[in-house]
């Protein structure tokens, strides 16, 4: 690993013990990956929170120890200085306002608040969402980032043209303290070109369509870089967010191109660069139906819990849900949680959307999601969601049955208590 003078100085302790530990971690990590140098980053999105019961014994000894252990993988507790890079907190396990509805213990909430005060003082912006790009962290084209969370990473690479691999808690912590990350994987131009082609032979337009296409793409290409060509339309933040989250769930996709729409693919030629498609896959009506069926893990049509907002909803999505629920009332046996970043929730309160959702009997939650918190309403047996990612993970995590469908189908189930689907 070649180091600059500044990096060597950090390793040798010029920035203090925490920075030295961080640099040591990055060097070992980079060497294991085969990176020959580090790259500067001023954009880190990581997980620095203390919101799980297993952290409590460490947190009781102090937040320096939590950061040292969890974000630097250090057995020695070191003093944590202000972050060197612009850094934000991703999703956490608790909604700071609605934690009682989640069934969380007040002591855990107190621990999370103490931890947030600690990391906030050290320059970590508490966005508390898996969609930092919706609330102020929008990487510039080609910007080197160190992000965690698969749906955020694929959005950063594919939709925005930022450059990141999927980092872990430790490498993100080390990057935040040093402003460096190993230069490998999707930081390198040659790894960002397409290697597989998805031919879309059925119209893909709605958010559900894009989620299903993403699920197919991940299943087919696994960790390769797909180029999506054919009958796609309506490309926007919401659709790309769902496409990416879904592709990163059924496969390990971290980068993709939609020629004419995504920033590194003004054409299919540009998307593939020097590569040729090693394989072509056709997404047609049969494949679409197969994906839809794969995402249904329920048989019981009596629904208890509707989860909307995976990845976290945009303000337009919250507004749409509010409009659909305006003047209506959820079925008394159904709980509806709408998830959105806290900053967007503030706008939704001011816009009257939260009031409309609450008047219908729903709750707008922030900071967390059921798959990450592993908390769902007590007694839930059957869930319904408009997110392919949540339908992929939550039934296994929470040991429940799951329905996947459009937002309209989910709202309808919320009002009637029955899943009818809409395929
Ligand atoms: Fe975000 Fe949770 Fe979905 S982290 S992408 S809402 S599983």
Distance of alpha carbon 337 from alpha carbon 403, whole angstroms = 15
Q: Three-state secondary structure along the chain? A: CECCHHHHHHHCCCCCHHHHHHHHHHHHHHHHHCCCEEEECCCEEECCCCCCHHHHHHHCCCHHHHHHHHHHCCCCCCCCCCCCCCEEECCCCCCCCCCCCCCCCHHHHHHHHHHHHHHHHCCEECCCCCCHHHCCCCCCCCCECEECCHHHHHHHHHHHCCECCECCHHHHHHHHHHCEEECCHHHCHHHCCCCEEEEEEEEECCHHHHHHHHHHHHHHHCCCCEEEEEEECCCCHHHHHHHHHHHHHHCCCCCCECCCCCCCCCCHHHHHCCCCCCEEEEECHHHHHHHHHHCCCCCCCECCEEEECCCCCCHHHHHHHHHHHCCCCCCCCCEEEEECCHHHHHHHHHCCHHHHHHHCCCEEECCCCHHHHCCCCCCCCEEEECCHHHHHHHHHHHCCEEEECCHHHHHHHHHHCECCCCC
Res 422: pLDDT:
77
- For the segment 87-105, what is each residue's pLDDT rounded down to a tens digit? 999 999 999 999 999 999 9
Q: Is 148 in the pocket of ligand 1 (CB under 6 A)?
A: no
| Predicted confidence (pLDDT) at residue 50 exceeds the cutoff of 90 | no
Q: Is 18 in the pocket of ligand 1 (CB under 6 A)?
A: no
Among 35, 19, 15, 32, residue whose Cα is nearest residue 175? 19
Question: Do the Cβ atoms of 187 and 94 come closer than 8 Å?
Answer: no
Kindly tell me the burial class for residue 26, based on how many C-beta atoms sit within 10 Å of its own C-beta (0-12, 13-18, 19 or more): buried
| Predicted confidence (pLDDT) at residue 423 exceeds the cutoff of 80 | no
| Predicted confidence (pLDDT) at residue 406 exceeds the cutoff of 90 | yes
C-alpha 310 to ligand 1 mean position (Å) = 5
C-alpha 297 to ligand 1 mean position (Å) = 19
Q: Is 369 in the pocket of ligand 1 (CB under 6 A)?
A: yes
Distance of alpha carbon 135 from alpha carbon 210, whole angstroms = 22
Q: Is 241 in the pocket of ligand 1 (CB under 6 A)?
A: no
- For the segment 356-371, what is each residue's pLDDT rounded down to a tens digit? 999 999 999 999 999 9
Q: Is 360 in the pocket of ligand 1 (CB under 6 A)?
A: no
| Predicted confidence (pLDDT) at residue 49 exceeds the cutoff of 90 | no
| Predicted confidence (pLDDT) at residue 54 exceeds the cutoff of 90 | no
C-alpha 343 to ligand 1 mean position (Å) = 16
Q: Is 312 in the pocket of ligand 1 (CB under 6 A)?
A: yes
Res 1: pLDDT:
95
C-alpha 97 to ligand 1 mean position (Å) = 18
Percentage of the chain exceeding pLDDT 70: 100
What is the chain's mean pLDDT, rounded?
97
Q: Is 389 in the pocket of ligand 1 (CB under 6 A)?
A: yes
Q: Which atom of ligand 1 is nearest to the CA of 245?
A: 5
Q: Is 91 in the pocket of ligand 1 (CB under 6 A)?
A: yes
Res 51: pLDDT:
78
As a residue count, the chain comes to 423
pTM over 0.95? The answer is yes
Q: Which atom of ligand 1 is nearest to the CA of 393?
A: 7
C-alpha 387 to ligand 1 mean position (Å) = 9
Q: Is 366 in the pocket of ligand 1 (CB under 6 A)?
A: no
Q: Is 151 in the pocket of ligand 1 (CB under 6 A)?
A: yes
Closest residue to atom 4 of ligand 1, CA basis = 130
Res 11: pLDDT:
98
Residue 258 banded pLDDT, cuts 50, 70, 90: very high
Residue 310 banded pLDDT, cuts 50, 70, 90: very high
C-alpha 215 to ligand 1 mean position (Å) = 15
């Amino acid at each position: 690993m070649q180091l600059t003078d500044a990096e060597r100085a950090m390793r040798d302790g010029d920035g203090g013990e925490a920075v030295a530990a961080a640099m040591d971690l990055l060097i070992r990590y980079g060497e294991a990956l085969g990176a020959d140098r580090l790259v500067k980053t001023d954009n880190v999105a990581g997980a620095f929170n203390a919101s799980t019961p297993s952290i409590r014994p460490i947190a009781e000894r102090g937040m320096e120890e939590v950061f040292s252990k969890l974000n630097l993988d250090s057995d020695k507790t070191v003093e944590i200085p202000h972050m060197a890079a612009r850094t934000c907190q991703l999703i956490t396990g608790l909604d700071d306002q609605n934690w009682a509805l989640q069934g969380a213990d007040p002591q855990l909430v107190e621990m999370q608040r103490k931890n947030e005060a600690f990391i906030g003082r050290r320059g970590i912006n508490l966005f508390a969402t898996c969609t930092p790009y919706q609330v102020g962290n929008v990487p510039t084209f080609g910007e080197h980032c160190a992000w965690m969370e698969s749906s955020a990473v694929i959005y950063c690479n594919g939709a925005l043209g930022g450059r990141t691999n999927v980092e872990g808690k430790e490498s993100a912590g080390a990057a935040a303290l040093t402003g460096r990350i190993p230069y490998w994987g999707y930081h390198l131009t040659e790894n960002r070109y397409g290697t597989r082609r998805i031919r879309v032979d059925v119209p893909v337009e709605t958010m559900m369509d894009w989620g299903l296409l993403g699920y197919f793409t991940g299943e087919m290409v696994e960790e390769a870089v797909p180029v999506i060509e054919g009958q796609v339309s309506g490309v926007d933040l919401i659709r790309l967010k769902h496409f990416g989250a879904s592709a990163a769930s059924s496969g390990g996709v971290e980068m993709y191109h939609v020629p004419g729409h995504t920033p590194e693919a003004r054409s299919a030629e540009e998307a593939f660069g020097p590569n040729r498609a090693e394989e072509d896959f056709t997404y047609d009506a049969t494949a679409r139906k197969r994906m839809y069926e794969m995402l249904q893990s329920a048989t019981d049509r009596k629904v208890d819990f509707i989860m909307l907002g995976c990845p976290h909803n945009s303000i337009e999505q919250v507004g749409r849900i509010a409009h659909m629920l305006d003047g209506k009332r959820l079925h008394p046996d159904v709980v509806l949680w709408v998830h959105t970043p806290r900053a967007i929730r503030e706008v939704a309160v001011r816009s009257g959307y939260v009031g409309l959702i609450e008047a219908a009997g729903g709750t707008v939650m922030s900071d967390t999601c059921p798959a990450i918190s592993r908390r769902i309403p007590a007694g839930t047996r059957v869930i319904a969601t408009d997110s392919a990612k949540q339908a992929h993970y939550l039934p296994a995590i929470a040991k429940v049955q799951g329905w996947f469908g459009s937002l309209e189908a989910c709202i309808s189930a919320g009002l009637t208590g029955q899943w009818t689907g809409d395929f």
